[in-house]
Amino acid sequence: MNLITISLLVLGGTGLVAAVLLYLIAQRFKVEEDPRIDQVQEVLPGANCGGCGFAGCRALAEACTKASSLDGLMCPVGGAPTMEKVGAILGLAAPQGEPKVAVVRCNGTCEARPKTSEYNGTRSCAIMHSMYVGESGCAFGCLGCGDCVAACPFDAIHINPETGLAEVDEAKCTACGNCVKACPRHIIELRKKGENGQRMVVLCVNQDKGPVAKKNCANACIGCGLCAKVCPQEAITITNNVAYIDFDKCVVCRECEPQCPTKALHAIGFADAQAAAPVVTTEVTEGEKKGFDPVIAAKIKALPTPKAVFPQCLRY
């Protein structure tokens, strides 16, 4: 028997023994996985968007399989039909969650919220927000740089070049929540779509007091509370100078809509919904830009200049 044959036998025998040992070890320490996990994963949309609160569809499938109830577990992309399929596989009742949609709670268009400065840095909402109030006087409104657009995996949100605001395409939106996390000013919120897509929402998050908010944006909520007073369901609250509608209490009676003096409160999904507030066309004085009271600013503007009062002092 030559050296080559001996080498082959030794190597082959060593490989065979190692294979047997690995097989025995694998059988001894193998983890039994529920075959239903693969079945559940197959009916999920596979978007891996994280909107369900888990790392991906596989993680959601594992959570559903291990759970004794599907309450609190929902795939925002597939919605109720997908969860019904999951429930059928697991023999559990599917949760009946109402569909939601992302809502940009800002109506400060370019005309209603004039620029007071120009930002020339990196076009990022997070960076701009960390540096200063933005290009307008409103420190709460949409910055329009598109961080939410980059975060959306479904191409459901874009920046309108005419208004400078983020707009959601409800037909594409799956309420995954990625845009909500991406917005540094927490303007975007997931709200229930409502029956036939009809709902009420306050498109403003400005917490400044009424006069300041109105000066910086014609469409701002001034926190007057007129809407809350007429709401029969007590669904509207005024917190930090801005109104908020609880969509779990709101019955879309629209009693509050005509009460809003700035039209910050919007009825969505109605053919006769009112338009946004009119744009302020009055000239803003330098005093008002610096934060002075408009009445005082007008009186200061009417005062004679130093040159008219003391011409001899300005001779040189």
Amino acid, res. 113: R
**Is the distance from CB of 44 to CB of 57 less than 8 angstroms?**
yes
Q: What is the pLDDT of residues 20-44, one digit of tens each?
A: 999 999 888 877 788 899 999 999 9
Rounded CA-CA distance 156/168 in Å is 6
| Residue 300 in this model has a pLDDT that exceeds 50 | no
The reported pLDDT for the residue numbered 284 is: 44
Q: Hunting for tokens 């229930």 — which residue is that?
A: 192
Q: Report pLDDT for 180.
A: 95
What are the extents of the domains in the chain? 36-90, 100-268, 292-316
Structure tokens given for 264: 């910050």
pLDDT band with cut points at 50, 70 and 90 for residue 303: very low
pLDDT tens track for 254-278: 999 999 999 999 999 888 765 555 4
36-90 and 100-268, same CATH topology = no
| Contact between residue 125 and residue 181 where contact means Cβ atoms under 8 Å apart | no
Task: Tell me which amino acid residue 291 is.
Answer: G
Q: Is residue 282 pLDDT above 50, yes or no?
A: no
Fold of 100-268: Alpha-Beta Plaits (3.30.70)
Nearest to 116, CA basis, from 221, 217, 264 = 217
Q: How confident is the model at residue 1 (pLDDT cuts 50, 70, 90)?
A: low
Band the pLDDT of 280: cuts 50, 70, 90. very low
Ranges of beta strands (E only) in 207-286 are: 236-239, 242-245, 265-268
Please say if the pLDDT value at position 63 is more than 90: yes
Q: From CA 121, how far away is CA 107, in angstroms rounded?
A: 24
User: What digits encode the pLDDT tens for the residues 212-247?
Assistant: 999 999 999 999 999 999 999 999 999 999 999 999
Q: Which residues contact 29 (CB under 8 A, 6 or more apart)?
A: none
Q: Which of 54, 82, 220, 196 is nearest to 141 (CA)?
A: 220
Which residues are CB-neighbours of 293 under 8 A, at least 6 positions away?
none
**Distance between CA 65 and CA 40 in Å, rounded?**
8
What digits encode the pLDDT tens for the residues 109-157? 999 998 899 999 999 999 999 999 999 999 999 999 999 999 999 999 9
Question: 76-89, pLDDT tens digit by residue?
Answer: 888 888 999 999 99
Mean pLDDT (whole number) for 303-309 = 44
Q: Which CATH number fits domain 36-90: 1.20.1250, 1.10.287, 1.10.15, 1.10.1740?
A: 1.10.15
Across the range 66-77, mean pLDDT stands at 88
What's the pTM value of the predicted model, to 2 decimals? 0.71
Q: Is 168 helix (H, G, I), strand (E, B) or coil?
A: strand
Task: Give CA–CA dist 25/21, Å, rounded.
Answer: 6
